[in-house]
Amino acid sequence: MKTTICQAVCLLALLIAGQGLAEYNYNEGQGVFNMSETPVIVMETTQGTIEIALMPHVAPKTCENFMRLAEKGYYDGIVFHRVIKDFMIQGGDPTGTGMGGASIWGKNFEDECDDSVTFDTPGLLAMANAGPGTNGSQFFITTIPTPWLNGRHTIFGEVTAGYDYVKKIENVSVDYAGKPKPGQEQKMIRVYLKDQKKN
């Protein structure tokens, strides 16, 4: 019973996260990356550097969105605005409130849930949303297996290095809503493709 209540609260937190995702005019003509290699995202955080292997074969549009936002420097300087111990760390909202953010297309986009990839392990990168088809820029990294999220959130990457830094972020002091307390804020300093490090 306690576990079920915890799962319900965690799911509600992720759904609330996407409520503020705005919808704008869709920019037609933007193609999806056709990637034959596995792109790796480098996330330099307050705690240390995390590397994430993306899954374009599973979620091509989601990976395209994340990579293009990273290439633009969109995630640089953004905080992890929600941290829930024994669940996940969440970021990707430039307002830092959990109510903002947008995709590269300027509007929400559809889920790419794939039954071959499930929330059966920690360290998965997935999209936060407010329900089906409401993906924007917010994402989360799991810190435990979260099978109740299967089919609800697009998994598009997995941490391959620096998972200990994810755990350090997960363990900061937070308020009742999961927001890191003053002085405990955790930030993405820079986020970029491994082969395209910024100067």
Is 21 in the active site? no
The answer to whether the beta carbons of residues 89 and 143 sit under 8 Å apart is yes
Is 129 in the active site? yes
SS3 category, 15: helix
> Which candidate in 14, 81, 124, 153 is catalytic?
153
Is 153 in the active site? yes
> Which candidate in 47, 65, 108, 129 is catalytic?
129
Handedness of CA 116, 117, 118, 121 (dihedral sign): positive
> Which candidate in 140, 152, 156, 186 is catalytic?
140
The answer to whether the beta carbons of residues 170 and 142 sit under 8 Å apart is no
Is 47 in the active site? no
Is 196 in the active site? no
SS3 category, 58: coil
> Which candidate in 82, 119, 139, 186 is catalytic?
82
CA distance 45 to 169: 9
Is 90 in the active site? yes
Is 33 in the active site? no
SS3 category, 67: helix
> Which candidate in 90, 108, 135, 138 is catalytic?
90
Q: Which two tokens mark 165?
A: 């830094």
Q: Which residues contact 13 (CB under 8 A, 6 or more apart)?
A: 82, 84, 178
Residue 149 has what DSSP assignment?
G
> Which candidate in 109, 149, 152, 186 is catalytic?
149
Active site residues: 82, 87, 90, 129, 140, 149, 153
